[in-house]
């Protein structure tokens, strides 16, 4: 499988999992912070996967 697909899929799954954790955990607890970090890392991976395939139009 191509690397950008792996990044997009893993990033999407990590983002969704992180958002679920933040939704289910008590606000500002250590579990909530871990979920927020996971969601942030997932967004970074998602962006990196998309950026690998987007070429500048200029």
* DSSP class per residue in 3-58: HHHHHHHHHHHHHHHHHHHHHHSPTTSHHHHHHHHHHHHHHHHHHHHHHHH-----
Question: For residue 51, how many C-alpha atoms fall within 13 Å in the half-sphere facing its CB?
Answer: 7
In angstroms, the CA 53 to CA 57 distance is 12
Give the pLDDT of the chain (58 residues) as one tens digit per residue.
899 999 999 999 999 999 999 999 999 999 999 999 999 999 999 999 999 999 777 7
pTM of the model: 0.89
Dmax (CA) of the chain: 47
User: φ and ψ at 26, to 5 degrees?
Assistant: -65, 140
């Amino acid at each position: 499988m191509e690397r950008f697909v792996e990044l997009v899929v893993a990033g999407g799954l990590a983002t969704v999992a992180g958002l679920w954790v933040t939704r289910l955990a008590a606000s500002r607890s250590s579990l909530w912070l871990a979920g927020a970090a996971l969601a942030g890392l997932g967004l970074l991976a998602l962006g990196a996967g998309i950026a690998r395939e987007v070429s500048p139009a200029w």
